[in-house]
């Protein structure tokens, strides 16, 4: 039986990044080539990625998911998690006990009715012609709760990758935040090929695990899309022996989910995944992973442990702590090769 405590580590709070650096690619980069650790900077990743590699990005778009309003003289908030059906949404309601099932409530921009509640999640029906427009104009960026800032929208541009295209993600695929246009252009000039997937990032990806027996834990389902063109790029890379490097754990989960282990090909599809990768899983379909530093006892840290080995992961993280790398969404990055 796997014990969640085996994936714990002590992280000083001062290492949790509260804001992004001025330049995206100036973040630090911890490189592990399968044998040794090397301290570097993200803009130097051009010297570390194997030649003839394919970088795979998640081009999802982060939406303004938080809507703050006054309810009977008190500040309340609706955090829109995902759409269930037309005008019906799964949400977090701050101080949800104040909102009763079957009752309707007003905000300055729309009315909503509470349909049901399960634990801390509510289902509401919204009366609004275009909620997406309301959230875009008056919503707030869904920064993680450990980032303390008075105006979340001051980081709106930086909590979005420069290549984001479409989607309704409620959290950023943070590994991609380190890439700027200059670095992307340089990688292309060096012959590095790009492929894209689109996975809508939900809160389940980042939620802490609660079961001591990890094998009983499941992640929330997330939708994804892999187009014919990008499946072709990935399959050609496999056939020609190129290295496939996943930019982020969300991209990796998508690639693992769309790969057919019988035909050994990536399949173009629109689907959903609740895949949970943890040791001793070793059947990875990529050769490298770019990722940020993650929370202890999280599914993401367990994925890292599976990818490079638990001992190596703990060694890398302890090194990062000793060298005062910045952790979490606006923190520094790692490049792990297998």
223-261: pLDDT as tens digits? 999 999 999 999 999 999 999 999 999 999 999 999 999
- Give the residue-averaged pLDDT of 151-156: 94
Tell whether 256 and 190 lie within a shared domain. Answer: yes
Number of compact structural domains in the chain: 2
pTM exceeding the 0.85 threshold for the entire prediction: yes
Per-residue pLDDT tens over the stretch 269-326:
999 998 889 999 999 999 999 999 999 999 899 999 999 999 999 999 999 999 999 9
Same domain, 19 and 43: yes
pLDDT computed for residue 220 by the predictor: 76
Give domain status of residue 144, yes or no.
Answer: no
* Range of the structural domain that residue 88 is part of: 66-139
Based on the fold, state whether residues 178 and 121 are members of the same structural domain: no
CATH of the domain at 118: 2.40.10.240
Any domain includes 209: yes
- Per-chain mean pLDDT for the chain: 93
Q: Answer yes or no: do 115 and 183 share one domain.
A: no
Whether 296 is in a domain gets the answer yes
Same domain, 49 and 70: no
Tens digits of residue pLDDT in 62-110: 999 999 999 888 889 999 998 889 999 999 998 888 899 999 999 999 9
The reply to whether 151 falls in a domain is: no
Instruction: State the burial class of residue 309 (Cβ atoms within 10 Å of its Cβ: 0-12, 13-18, 19+).
Output: middle
CATH of the domain at 296: 3.40.1780.10
pLDDT beyond 90 at 35: yes
């Amino acid at each position: 039986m796997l014990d969640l405590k085996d994936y714990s580590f002590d992280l000083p709070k001062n290492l949790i990044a509260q804001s992004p650096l001025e330049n995206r690619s100036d973040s630090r980069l911890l490189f592990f080539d399968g044998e040794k650790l090397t301290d570097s900077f993200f803009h130097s990743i051009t010297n570390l990625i194997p030649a003839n590699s394919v970088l795979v990005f998640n081009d999802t778009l982060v939406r303004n998911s938080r809507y703050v309003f006054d309810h009977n003289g008190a500040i309340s908030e609706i955090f829109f998690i995902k759409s269930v059906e037309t005008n019906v949404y799964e949400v977090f309601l701050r101080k949800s006990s104040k909102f009763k099932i079957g009752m309707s409530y007003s905000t300055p921009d729309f009315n909503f009715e509470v349909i049901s509640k399960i634990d801390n999640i509510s289902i509401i029906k919204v009366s609004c012609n275009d909620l997406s427009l309301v959230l875009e104009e008056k919503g707030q960026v869904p920064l993680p709760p450990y980032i303390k800032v008075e105006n979340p929208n001051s980081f709106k541009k930086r909590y979005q990758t420069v290549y984001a295209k479409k989607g309704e993600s409620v959290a950023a695929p943070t590994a991609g935040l380190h890439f700027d246009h200059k670095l992307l252009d340089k990688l292309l000039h060096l012959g590095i090929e790009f492929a894209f997937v689109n996975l809508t990032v939900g809160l389940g990806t980042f939620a802490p695990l609660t079961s001591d027996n990890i094998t009983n834990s499941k992640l929330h389902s997330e939708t994804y899309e892999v187009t014919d063109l990008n499946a072709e790029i990935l399959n050609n890379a496999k056939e020609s022996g190129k290295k496939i490097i996943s930019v982020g754990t969300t991209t990796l989960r998508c690639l693992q989910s769309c790969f057919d282990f019988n035909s050994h090909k990536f399949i173009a599809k629109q689907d959903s995944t609740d895949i949970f990768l943890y040791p001793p899983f070793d059947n990875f379909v990529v050769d490298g992973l770019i990722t940020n530093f993650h929370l202890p006892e999280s599914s993401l840290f367990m994925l890292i442990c599976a990818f490079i080995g638990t001992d190596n992961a703990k060694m890398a993280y302890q090194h990062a702590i000793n060298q005062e790398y910045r952790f979490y969404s606006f923190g520094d990055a790692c490049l792990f090769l297998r």
